[in-house]
Structure 1
Amino acid sequence: MPRVLPSVVWAFVMMWMFSPMDTGFLNSLLKSMGGKPVPWTFQYYWPFLFIVNGFIGCSLGMVIFSSAIKSIPQELIMAAKVDGASGLTIVRRIILPLIKWQIAFVVAYQTLSLLASFEYILLTLDGGPGYYSTEVLILQAYHLAFGQYLAAMRFGYAAVFVTILLVVGLVLSIVYWKVFRLRELMIEPKLE
């Protein structure tokens, strides 16, 4: 329950906000301003899913980035301001270089987690509307394995899709390992 309940609540809240009915939050706002209801989840289904997944995905990044930025010594920023550095220069020359490992981690983690992200698509649109217009590879594997109420389970096909995702994830992990030089994070610091 603790693992599933927040996702279900979030999906219900977002479905209520973007409901195509007159009682949906956004449609009731439009109606009160004299507009007519918009079928959000039928007409704009990909932006809807980006919003649903985006708020969940960006929350981890916000926590990591805000703590990383707060850990930067204020003396560095004050010294840069005294030397006449602009706000953009401070961000570009001080803050970004000091949080490069956090940026690398968030980029790697978020893109790899998108490979297995099907929870909110399943809870909100279930691969629809229409004929599987928002079905991603991992959701298709789920539907193949468990979708037809035990009548036509195709575990083999589902395993192929999951294996493809595993290979893509491994390739991306190796690319991130090399590009972001993540091995440097594991090197023991040199104390003099």
Structure 2
Amino acid sequence: MESFWFLGSTISQDLKWETHIDSILKKAQKRLYFLRQLRKFNLPQELLTWFYSAVIESVLCTSITVLFGSATKSDRRRLQWVVQTAERIIGAPLPTLQDLYSSRVRKRPGKIISDTSHPGHNLLELLPSGQRLRALTTTTIRPKNSFCPQAVSLISSELSSRNDDHSPCRSLSLNISKTF
């Protein structure tokens, strides 16, 4: 299988994330070794958690908004295995990759909406009603699991749950950018 390294991501010829996830797992496993060593030196859980967040979670979350939605179930399980291993080493609960993905998907659209020069700005526009974002239509599963459709459905569901504020479309878009 042909693949190449571009801007920190391994891109395969078939545009699947398996090779990139393999490289992420290799990095994370190497860093788990250092977490185990720190645990042997009896560092407090708080410091071990900080180390995990800075050194291991940062590797796991590289491109998470792009790859997590289109990753296979087995690839997601392999990534989550790293988190579970770190939990056992630290002895404290850690956020799941699904939680990390959701929080990042909530934050990113606000930045895109507020930046009119962003290439994805037009993909995240409110409907005239101001209560939902315009949904992107696709015919296959893979694009539906990508970032923009996931962000649109997440934000639209949050906007519809805030129906008690009947403000115009413009103020909703400002609220989106402040919230996210």
More helix by share: 1
More strand by share: 2
Q: Decide which structure has the larger Cα Rg and report it.
A: 1
Q: What is the TM-score normalised by the length of structure 1?
A: 0.28
Q: What is the TM-score normalised by the length of structure 2?
A: 0.29
Between 1 and 2, higher relative CO (CA 8 Å, sep ≥ 6) is seen in 2
